Chain A
Amino acid sequence: MTALVAFKDVTLGYDRHPAVHHLSGTVNAGDLLAVVGPNGAGKSTLFKGLVGLIPPLAGTIDRGALGRAVAYLPQVAEIDRGFPIGVYDLVAMGLWRRAGAFGGIGRKARDAIEGALAAVGLTGFEGRPIGTLSVGQMQRALFARLLLQDARMIVLDEPFNAVDDVTVTDLVALVRRWHGEGRTVVAALHDLGLVRATFPATLLLAREPVAWGATADVLTADNLLRARRMCEAFDESAPACRADAA
Chain B
Amino acid sequence: MVAHALLAPFRDETLRRALVSVAALAVGAGPVGVFLMLRRMALMGDIMAHAIMPGVAIGFLVAGFDTVAMTLGGLVAGVVVAVLAGLVARGTQLKEDASLAAFFLMSLALGVVILAGEGRSDDIVHVLFGDVTAIDGGRLVLIAGVATVSLAALAAIWRPLVIECVDPQFLRAVSGTGGAVHVAFLALVVLNLVAAFQALGTLLAVGLMTLPAVAARFWARDLTAMVAVAVGIGILSGYIGLAAAPAASAGPAIVLAAGAIYVVSLLFGRVGGMLWRAFPGRHLEA
Contact = CB atoms under 8 A, between A and B. Distances in A.
Given A53-B173, A70-B173, A129-B221, A84 B38 contact: yes
Nearest to B174: A96
Contacts of B162: 83, 85, 89
Interface string B147-181: 00000000011011011011111101111010000
Interface string A57-84: 0000000000010111010011110111
Contacts of B166: 79-80, 83, 85, 90, 93, 130
A145 to B, nearest CB: 8
Contacts of A90: 166-167
Interface centre among B38, B156, B165, B174 (most CB of A within 10 A): B174
Contacts of B172: 53
Interface string B122-162: 00000000000000000000000000000000001101101
Given A84-B221, A86-B222, A68 B174 contact: yes
A84 B226 contact: yes
Interface residues of A, number: 28
B223 interface: yes
Contacts of A77: 167, 169
Contacts, number: 62
Nearest to B168: A78
Nearest to B176: A68
B167 A85 contact: no
A78 B167 CA distance: 6
Contacts of A85: 162, 166, 222-223
B154 to A, nearest CB: 12
A86 B220 CA distance: 13
B157 A84 contact: no
A89 B166 CA distance: 10
Interface centre among A70, A79, A93 (most CB of B within 10 A): A93
Contacts of B170: 93, 145
5 contacts: A71-B173, A80-B38, A80-B166, A80-B167, A96-B174
